Structure 1
């Protein structure tokens, strides 16, 4: 089991990071909440990881916070929730927002996430209520979580590509329909905004904090 990687961040894109460690380059799938908190390429990064092995595929999932990784591991134990859906959940809601949804039994917030129907949302609320207790003591105060999710313009990635197109593509890869992605991005788009800022604001607009 690969539980932690420390190395140089080579590349980062919404949904994936490439980390060089001891001469090897690890492709790590990440939720957007982790993407927003990554340093700039060339800087050192530490990711808490989960290694998933299937008959035809192997995937490495990474998180800047160990709590997020541990919550991810609890999510994939829920019937009908695989790693891809768990990453989608933690992309639309940060760990504290998800916990507040479970505590408030907020089905409506969960069904707004792509891939989460009403039955899956209800199952998440029931099964995760007990599993969250297993993470007791790791809960991060909401103020710290909300601050960590913000990306300052100085740290936003500079890209040669159109930030709007990148942001729309990122939302589509997360599971939103092209029309939904385009509409959400157009509502928050302003001149000079990076793809990171567009994605973050669009997700907040589509899935308001409970």
Structure 2
């Protein structure tokens, strides 16, 4: 998983609440299991409207934006992890919202995407910068969103999730990193108690030859 430290980008404004995972990634694409290429289906209905109205991510200066600024309850609804996969494949590394769907929020960290909660006047300031097409910087080490004016807005993040993003650790990587001594101790005990499960290829070949001779 790609690590997240500091990201500077135009921030695409999506001033709408209750954008659910079916809007982010429509259900009919759920049969696609390969994460690569899912980005082309992100916000599919919004990006392929019959009336031809363009979606914000397809309009300069927000084409190629790596930050999305939206409102409350982003990612609510179905727990599909595809929603985060599609955003990440599209290039979105950070979503700033007033609140998130709980499962979507957790899935972001498992896939190298940073969800930032901002509320009130601070959220309004970030949205204003996004709508003006100005770049903003999201700095994870200092837990801050820095506007073009130089104003810094702090945000909260759980320490273990921050560490995982900084180191580029997915869920399995985090478990291995945090519990490596305990895992190694268990493996050593297991090997000592059941050595026959850890025979070398040479030892296995010897037993196979012996069984064949006896047979």
| TM-score, length of structure 1 as denominator length | 0.28
* RCO comparison, higher one (Cα < 8 Å, 6+): 2
Larger Rg: 2
| TM-score, length of structure 2 as denominator length | 0.28
